[in-house]
Structure 1
Amino acid sequence: MQGFDPQTILPRIAAQGLERQEIRPGDWFDDDGMLMCGKCGEPRQGMVTVSAPMEGNPENKMTFKATRSCKCDRDKEAAEKQAEQNKKDMERVARLKKASLMDEKLREASFDSFQVTKYNARNLKLCRRYAEAFDEMVSKNQGLIFWGSVGTGKSFAAACIANHLLNRGVPVMMTSLVKLLELMQGGEEKESDIIARMNSAKLVIFDDLGAERNTDYALEKIYNIIDSRYRRKLPMLLTTNLTIDEMKDEEDRRYSRIYDRIFETCYSMQFTGPSWRKKEASRRFTEMEKLFDID
């Protein structure tokens, strides 16, 4: 820069920094007049030598007093940067969860809140392993299908996997095929855009397979959705109240070609045990009976 005189400018900037430097309680000056941190004991001021071309100075160097960061300053700066990064990470996770189409009641599902029983202990372990090894699962295009009767925890287990990945910043979508069909029929978003949005997710979870209407239109759209993931080698996770035999023995070609795609890439896990929904309904009923038992 024309007119830039390092011999004047650099010491001036350093002097301004020294004037603005806060002297904290406990700080002290050493024998050389350098400010020392009263907490960590490291210097907060020191002599700085910089390279600067100057006339009459063959070494092209100059030395002057300037501020410096002690351990306390460095730790504070690192903590502030980490806090800012954490804030950005949380905002990104919030955006991912909002875009996931997940039901509100499942957004807080986690492996830690999973109620372990003799019926689901093995499945919980497998779900956790799948989530922790997800990068490998993606590379192998390995999906899952949870099957079993109503209320056995299939959707909750799927949501645990989804939230584990979302909290790591992995894009996940979790929705029902019924809801997807409603979106396609609603006209607010093009079918191609919906499928493209799903294919931008590392994992898509289709909840409650088999609950959709068995019309030609619905089954054709479902096949296109699942086939799109299949062809792009993107993993999917499905939950269903159907049995494996019902799906494997399906004679209706409209269904069987859907199930063929699923079984080729998805490991099946059966969920058994008493219905959590019935158990929860019974608990709430008992609580209300106690509440209404007024003398």
Structure 2
Amino acid sequence: MVSSIVESVVAGLAKESYMKDGDYIGDDGMLCCGKCHTRKEREIDFLGMGKRKVAIMCRCEADALEARKERERKEEEMHSIRRARISSMMDETFQTATFDNFRKNSGNEKHLSIAQNYCKEFKKMYENNQGLLFYGTVGTGKSYTAACIANYLLEHSTSVVMTSFVRILQEMQGFDREREEAFTNRLNSVRLLIIDDLGAERSTDYALEKVYGIIDNRYRAKKPIILTTNLTLSQMQAASDIRYERIYDRVFEMCYPLEFKGISWRKREAAQRYEETKRLLEG
């Protein structure tokens, strides 16, 4: 009898701990939520000692828990995206480049379509180690289009690094072997590596060896790379220097080439700035 009294007291205290204002006992003797009117407890067989009432979540508590988990998931996703952006090495100039603010004209609609399709099919592109080569004259949108791809994938929690060989070589100056290995491993660890301005690096044996090594590492790891260059396709195909030839052979093996041509956006914007400044200063 004493045992049953103790159990009754314990059960009562437990119920008080999860019973809120407005809650009530239903016709079946179970505690119900005063808001959603669903059960807050149920009976279970307790170790062969008969049935016991245990607390459960009512519908509104379960919904609140699910909403909290979703908020936490989204917060973690945003933290992950921010961390990925910090690690992306992307120049501030390109951090706002998106497909939404891509300035379309009759000459670049194909570029936009291919870039968007690359993102849409990135899982297959990754599995097939399929990269892109954006080539053509200065200022025609190669880097901007590559940055649109980078930012889209970063927003979808895909690891991307976007940098240039010039910056890579500057970073690696003075590195000992251990630091250089850690740096190149970082470049090789991301799902997509984007390197701007192939061909702008110095033509020293050291520089070209590092350029080849980075591209070849991606090839051997079966991971895609996107490259931009101001060189023409014929210049790359006609390279007679064995140092360049092996670089470009790897590039053609890994990357789908897309030519960018037309009026330079940079020259167009410079002309617009000139005219605007002239109007303001000279009236």
**Which TM bucket (shorter chain)?**
0.7 to 0.9
Q: Do residues 110 (structure 1) and 98 (structure 2) align?
A: yes
Provide the rounded CA distance (Å) in 1 between the counterparts of 2:226 and 2:200.
Answer: 16
Among 20, 23, 26, the alignment partner of 1:22 is 20
Instruction: Report what 2:277 is aligned to.
Output: 288
The alpha-carbon deviation at position 162 of structure 1 amounts to 1.2
Q: Cα distance 1:194–1:15, how it changes in 2: closer, same or farther (>3 A)?
A: same
TM-score by length of 2: 0.88
Mapped contact 1:210–1:240 kept (Cα < 8 A):
yes
How far, CA to CA, are the matches of 1:7 and 1:278 in structure 2? 89
* Counterpart Cα distance in 2 of 1:156 and 1:13: 66
Q: Supply the distance in 2 between the matched residues of 1:6 and 1:266 (Cα, whole angstroms).
A: 77
Structure 2 Cα separation of the partners of residues 13 and 113 of structure 1:
62
TM-score by length of 1: 0.84
Q: Give me the whole-angstrom Cα distance separating, in 2, the residues matched to 1:9 and 1:250.
A: 88
For the residues of structure 1 that align with 2:237 and 2:275, how far apart are their CA atoms? Answer: 41
Structure 1 residue 92: deviation in Å?
1.1
By percentage of residues, which structure has more helix?
2
Percent identity reads 41
Pairing 1:79-94 to 2, within 5 Å after superposition: 79-94=67-82
Shift in Å at residue 147 of structure 1? 0.6
Secondary structure at the aligned position of 1:128 is classed as helix
Are 2:31 and 2:40, in contact at CA under 8 Å, matched by a contact in 1?
Answer: yes
1:35 equivalent among 21, 28, 32: 32
- The code of the aligned residue for 1:93 comes to I
Compared with structure 1, are the counterparts of its residues 8 and 144 closer, same or farther at alpha carbon in structure 2 (3 Å cutoff)? farther
Displacement of 1:74 in angstroms is 2.1
Q: Distance in 1 between matches of 2:109 and 2:248?
A: 27
In structure 2, what is the Cα distance between the partners aligned to 1:165 and 1:43?
Answer: 43
Q: Which amino acid counterpart does residue 45 of structure 1 have in structure 2?
A: K
Q: Deviations over 1:146-171 (max 9, x none)?
A: 01111111111111111121122221
Work out whether 1:190 is the aligned partner of 2:179: yes
Cα distance, 1:290 vs structure 2: 4.7
Identify if the C-alpha distance between structure 1 residues 261 and 33 changes in structure 2 by more than 3 Å, giving closer, same or farther.
closer
Give the Cα separation in 2 of the matches to 1:218 and 1:194: 15
For residues 99 and 243 of structure 1, the distance between their equivalents in structure 2, rounded to whole angstroms, comes to 31
Q: Equivalences for 1:1-295 in 2 at 5 Å? A: 12=10, 15-23=13-21, 30-31=26-27, 34-38=31-35, 41-46=36-41, 48-53=42-47, 59-64=48-53, 67-187=55-175, 190-292=179-281
Q: Contact conserved, 1:101 with 1:175, CA < 8 A, in 2?
A: yes
> Could you list the runs of 5+ residues in structure 1 that have no partner in the other structure?
54-58
AA aligned to 2:97 is A
Could you tell me which amino acid in structure 1 is paired with residue 109 of structure 2?
A: A
Figure out how many residues of one structure are paired with residues of the other and give that number: 279
